[in-house]
Amino acid sequence: MNERFNKKPNDTSTLPILYSLRNCPYAMRARLAIFKAKQSVLLRDLVLSNKPKEMIAVSSKATVPVLVLNDSTVIDESLAVMLWALRETDPADLLHSQQEDALPAMLLLINEFDNDFKRCLEAYKCAKRYQEDNITQCREACQLYINQLEQRLTKHKFLISDKESLADIALLPFIRQFARIERQWYLQSPYPKVRQWLNSYLQSPIFTKVMAKHPLWVDSRQDVLFGDN
């Protein structure tokens, strides 16, 4: 493991800084990967209405997550943050390093959900929020992708194989959003494998730690040591 990441909790001077938003699905999956990789970062929690000028200065996108490494390298795409963490250390082999075609398959699935499913999900959320009369059609558009996951989980314990992978933790926050839009419908929906898969994460100690609430950095100016070390 890279020496600069093998830190004791009281040695934080060279740790990366992660700007994050607790309930943002992109920030959520970045934190999940960092935790799974057993990395440590200095977490700076924020709200969109009051973004730190320090974050805006290093990333013109001004959206979370933003990871600033010790050498001033800035990573401001959630998937790139996940890959950085797991390429540093991957104790659970979420990248399936011994399977040459595994990572391309994961990235293909993630890309499909980040683009096509995400558009359907946003339309579904809006239909529910504004009580539009096309909510059923919006839900059915999402179901094309949820059904794909159900079929995968019928064959394997996780989305790619019987081992957890990058794809699982990358898609998790968005499937969580889907499940919360029409909760009663979801609980009765024909996707028992998806429900079981999602619940296994939501009820896990890791998810509780990743979703812990911290003081806003702009108020406290106190970095929070985050990670599983």
Average pLDDT over residues 34-53: 96
CA distance 104 to 124: 29
pLDDT tens track for 49-90? 999 999 999 999 999 999 999 999 999 999 999 999 999 999
pLDDT tens track for 207-227? 999 999 999 999 999 999 999
Predicted local confidence at residue 8, as pLDDT:
44
Predicted local confidence at residue 99, as pLDDT:
94
Whether residue 9 has pLDDT greater than 60: no
Average pLDDT over residues 8-26: 86
Predicted local confidence at residue 228, as pLDDT:
78
pLDDT tens track for 170-184? 999 999 999 999 999
Q: Provide the residue count of the chain.
A: 229
- Long-range CB pairs of 192-196, under 8 A, 24+ apart, other chains included: 192/150, 193/149, 193/150, 193/153, 193/154, 194/146, 194/149, 194/150, 194/153, 196/153
CA distance 205 to 168: 16
CATH superfamily of 3-94+207-227: Glutaredoxin (3.40.30.10)
Domains 3-94+207-227 and 102-204 share a fold: no
Give Cα 210 to chain centroid, integer Å: 10
Per domain, the residue ranges of the chain are 3-94+207-227, 102-204
pLDDT tens track for 142-163? 999 999 999 999 999 999 999 9
Predicted local confidence at residue 7, as pLDDT:
40
Q: Are 29 and 87 in contact (CB under 8 A)?
A: no
Q: Does domain 102-204 have CATH number 1.10.3720.10?
A: no
